[in-house]
């Protein structure tokens, strides 16, 4: 054991972000370590949803598009994201799902690099990213998806690379790509970069502008606390916006949607990447989710993420070192994975004891640390409970081996 509960509580008492926990509604008796998959419910969200549903939709009906600014919601909500990811407000939008926004930006990037035939990615990228690229390659016969091991990406970029598509923080062990160096290697070869920031935005201090990113997407429902199925964000660096064309050109990305012109004329700037009618209820929840970052310095957030995961790793290794193997590198995002041959059953036993994480095939126990609401004392306690479950083999009961659809 490397720390006492008193010491963990002292870290909470000294935590400059401790006040943010009150911005969330977390059930008593639960230690929630899955904010990297679905952010916790912000305390303000139910009220925000009720306001939009009952007063705006209910009372003001369709006039709300103008009266309550529904029509501007994708950009207005995205402006709240700007300081969180280090971009300008007019470089961001919320629209569609992560997979769909990825398709849009990937196709736009490929089209902007005619004569180049390769989308370059890594073997272990998140499956939907690879699936989207495979789908695009089927549509465009001259295009291929080339994947290489994570460490070989920079050296695989060449004059045939149209776009380098990577997930910044790996969804399994949390390994982080060096964004700035991949961007500069890609630019030196004339290629574009497209980052999936699903496991980074809202957990790490990002500087999309300063690190030379061209394009990015990411989930709204993880660390951004937008709620299940929240719209995704997309980022297009300012100088590229007029050069790129969305393949899903729709009326909301038209220069004048209500001119009802038959021919598509893209809007100026980032708005051209919209396709259809924005999901107003989902955007209301997302707006409340992003408000949980008000007044938060991202450097403090990243420092706390680091400290939480370090405490967890030390405690788990001290208590269960022989039973689990750390599967996360030192350069990692805000989640940590430990391998165990019966990871699924172990996680079900943890959940039954009120510690919620998740599992990634084949054998990873995954624990996410959301610095806005996780506390050092609960991290400490989670490690203690894991140690107990492993020592007693509490996980080895038939009920914990029954697999559900979502892991």
Ligand X SMILES: Cc1ncc(COP(=O)(O)O)c(C=O)c1O
Name 164's bridge partners.
Answer: 120, 193
The span from the CA of 105 to the CA of 108, in Å, is 5
Binding mask 34-73 for ligand X (x = CB under 6 A): ----------------------------------------
Rule CB under 6 A: which of 299-358 touch ligand X? none
Stretch binding ligand X (CB under 6 A), from 45-53, 95-103, 311-319, 391-399: 95-103
**Helix H segments across 263-331?**
280-291, 298-320
Task: Choose the catalytic residue: 23, 222, 304, 319.
Answer: 222
Query: Does 9 help bind ligand X (rule: CB under 6 A)?
Result: no
Of the pair 11, 356, the CB lying nearest ligand X is at 356
Q: Where are the beta strands (DSSP E) in 161-302?
A: 161-167, 192-196, 215-218, 232-236
366 is annotated as an active-site residue: yes
99 lies in the binding site for ligand X (CB under 6 A): yes
- d(CA 193, CA 166) in angstroms, rounded, equals 8
Chain position carrying tokens 């039973």: 323
In the complex, what is the shortest distance from the CB of residue 367 to ligand X, in angstroms, rounded to a whole number? Answer: 15
CA distances, 332 to each of 149, 204, 237 (Å) = 17, 10, 25
Residues 114-133 touching ligand X, rule: CB under 6 A, are: 126, 128-129
C-alpha 260 chain-centroid distance: 35
- In the region spanning residues 231 to 290, those forming contacts with ligand X, defined by CB under 6 A, are 232
* Tokens representing residue 223 in the block: 């660390």
Per the annotation, the verdict on 221 as an active-site residue is: yes
Using rule CB under 6 A, residue 78 touches ligand X: no
- What's the CA gap between 105 and 136, in Å, rounded? 11
If one asks whether residue 97 binds ligand X (CB under 6 A), the answer comes out as: yes
Active site residue 67: no
* Member of 45, 56, 121, 167 binding ligand X (CB under 6 A): 167
One character per residue 211-230, x = contact with ligand X (rule: CB under 6 A):
--------x-----------
Please name which of 387, 258, 395, 404 lies closest in space to residue 315, comparing C-alpha atoms.
387
Looking at beta carbons only, is 8 or 132 nearer to ligand X?
A: 132
| DSSP structure string for 160-174 | TEEEEEEESB-TTT-
- Which parts of this chain interact with ligand X (CB under 6 A)? 97-99, 126, 128-129, 167, 171, 196, 198-199, 219, 232
Residues that are catalytic:
126, 196, 221-222, 366
């Amino acid at each position: 054991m490397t720390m006492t509960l008193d010491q963990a509580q002292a870290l909470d008492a000294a935590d400059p972000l401790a006040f943010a926990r009150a911005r969330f509604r977390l059930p008593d008796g639960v230690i929630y370590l899955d904010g990297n998959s679905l952010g916790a419910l912000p305390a303000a969200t139910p009220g925000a949803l009720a306001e939009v549903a009952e007063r705006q939709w209910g009372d003001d009906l369709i006039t709300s598009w103008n009266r309550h600014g529904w029509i501007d919601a994708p950009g207005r909500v995205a402006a709240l994201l700007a300081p969180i990811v280090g971009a300008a407000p007019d470089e961001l939008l919320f629209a569609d799902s992560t997979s769909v926004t990825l398709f849009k930006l990937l196709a736009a990037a490929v089209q902007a690099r005619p004569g180049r035939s390769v989308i370059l990615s890594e073997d272990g990228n998140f499956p939907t990213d690879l699936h989207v690229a495979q789908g695009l390659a089927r549509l465009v016969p001259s295009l291929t998806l080339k994947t290489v091991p994570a460490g070989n990406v920079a050296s695989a970029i060449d004059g045939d690379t149209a776009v380098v598509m990577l997930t910044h923080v790996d969804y399994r062990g949390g390994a982080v790509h060096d964004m700035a160096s991949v961007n500069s290697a890609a630019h030196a070869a004339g290629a574009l970069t497209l980052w999936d920031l699903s496991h980074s935005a809202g957990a790490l201090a990002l500087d999309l502008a300063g690190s030379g990113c061209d394009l990015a997407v990411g989930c709204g429902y993880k660390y951004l606390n937008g709620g299940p199925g929240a719209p995704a964000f997309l980022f297009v660096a300012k100088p590229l916006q007029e050069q790129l064309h969305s393949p899903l050109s729709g009326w909301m990305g038209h220069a004048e949607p209500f001119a009802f012109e038959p021919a598509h004329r893209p809007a100026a700037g980032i708005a051209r990447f919209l396709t259809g009618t924005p999901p107003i209820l989902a955007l209301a929840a997302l707006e409340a989710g992003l408000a949980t970052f008000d007044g938060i310095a991202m450097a403090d957030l990243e420092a706390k993420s680091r400290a939480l995961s370090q405490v967890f790793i030390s405690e788990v290794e001290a208590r269960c070192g022989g039973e689990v193997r750390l599967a996360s590198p030192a350069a990692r995002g805000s989640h940590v994975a430990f391998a165990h041959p019966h990871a699924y059953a172990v996680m079900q036993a943890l959940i039954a004891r009120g510690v919620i994480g998740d599992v990634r095939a084949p054998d990873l126990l995954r624990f996410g640390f959301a610095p806005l609401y996780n506390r050092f004392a609960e991290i400490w306690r989670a490690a203690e409970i894991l140690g107990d479950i492993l020592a007693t083999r509490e996980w080895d009961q038939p009920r914990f081996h029954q697999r559900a659809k979502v892991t």
